[in-house]
Amino acid sequence: MTTPAVKLTVIVERLLKPAVERLLTEAGVTGWSVFPGGGMGAHGLHRADAAQLVREFAIVKIETVLRDRATAERIAETLTSHHLADQSGIVWLSPVEVWRASKF
């Protein structure tokens, strides 16, 4: 039996990870996952495995699932207007169906 929910996905440089995590905590989110990654974007190539002098410029994907869409939108709004105003990063919401709704 599944329940509808919203997945909030944030891709930022590691530099902003503490700010995103603080925002999630303040919004009452109790759990999220962080995935290291690599790719190509406005700041050129982000290497995934090879040595890079500045670790804080590597990208991470932070994902969390919420039952309440309004909260997810509020977090995304604060994130884009405050932290991503002059730093790079992307945010999106997607509808998901979760098992064990009590976990969210």
Partner 1 sequence: MDLFLDFLAAFGRQLQSPTLAFLLGGMAIAALGSRLEIPDAIYRFIVVVLMLRIGLGAGIAIREADLSELLLPALAAALLGVVIVLIGRVTLAPLSGPRPEDGIATAGLFGAVSASTLAAAMVLMEEDGLRFEAWVPALYPFMDIPALLTAIVLAQLGRKGGKARPRLGAIIVDSLRGSALSALALGLVLGMIARPDPVFHSFYDPLFRGFLSILMLIMGMEASARLAELRRVAHVYAVYGLTAPLVHGGLGFALGWLAHLATGFSPGGVVLLAVMAASSSDISGPPTLRAAIPSANPAAYIGASTSIGTPVALLSIPLWIALADVVFAL
**Interface with partner 1, residue 52, by CB under 8 A:** yes
Applying CB under 8 A, which of residues 30, 44, 70, 102 lies at the interface with partner 1? 44
Beta carbons within 10 angstroms of residue 30's beta carbon: 9
Span 69-98, contacts to partner 1 by CB under 8 A: 86-87
What separation, in Å, do the N-terminal and C-terminal C-alpha atoms of the chain show? 15
**Interface with partner 1, residue 47, by CB under 8 A:** yes
d(CA 20, CA 91): 11
**Interface with partner 1, residue 43, by CB under 8 A:** yes
CB proximity list for 52: less than 8 A, separation 6 or greater: 58
Residues engaged in binding partner 1 (CB under 8 A): 15, 43-44, 47, 49-58, 86-87
